[in-house]
Amino acid sequence: MSVDARAHRGGARVAIVVSQLGYGGAERQTALLLERLVDHPLRPALVCCLSDQLEPYGSQLESLGYRVVPLARSRSLDLG
C-alpha cells in the first residue's frame, strides 16, 4: 500500500516531538522539514515541545497550520 493510500484511509498519524524550538541547528532543521511537509500526505498533525521555549520557530509553525503544544516538565526526566 502506498503512503498516499495509508494516509487517505486514516491509518497514518504523525506527531513531531522536540526538546525545544529556540535558536539552534536541530530546531532550524525541524522547522525546515515541517515547511516541506505542509502538503505531504503524512503531514504531522501535532508538534510537541518538551519545554515552553517555542520561539522563534513555534509561531512560524503555527502560521503554517501546525498545532504546537508545549509539554513543560518540572524535572529533566519528568514527562508527566
Report yes or no on 75 lying in a domain.
Answer: no
Residue 33 sits in which domain range?
Answer: 3-70
Report yes or no on 77 lying in a domain.
Answer: no
pLDDT per position as a tens digit, 41-59? 889 988 998 888 999 999 9
Nearest to 48 by CA among 38, 61, 39: 61
Whether 8 has a pLDDT exceeding 60, the answer reads: no
The pLDDT assigned to 74 comes to: 67
Q: Report the predicted TM-score, pTM, of the whole model to 2 decimal places.
A: 0.73
Q: What is the dihedral of CA 64, 2, 30, 72, to 10 degrees?
A: 80
Report yes or no on 64 lying in a domain.
Answer: yes
Report yes or no on 80 lying in a domain.
Answer: no
Name the band, by pLDDT with cuts 50, 70 and 90, for residue 3: low
Query: CA 6, 10, 12, 17 torsion: positive or negative?
Result: positive
Report yes or no on 35 lying in a domain.
Answer: yes
Query: What is the C-alpha separation between 55 and 62, in angstroms, rounded?
Result: 11
Domain count, the chain: 1
Report yes or no on 79 lying in a domain.
Answer: no
Query: What is the C-alpha separation between 67 and 65, in angstroms, rounded?
Result: 7
Report yes or no on 55 lying in a domain.
Answer: yes
pLDDT per position as a tens digit, 68-79? 999 866 666 655
Report yes or no on 66 lying in a domain.
Answer: yes
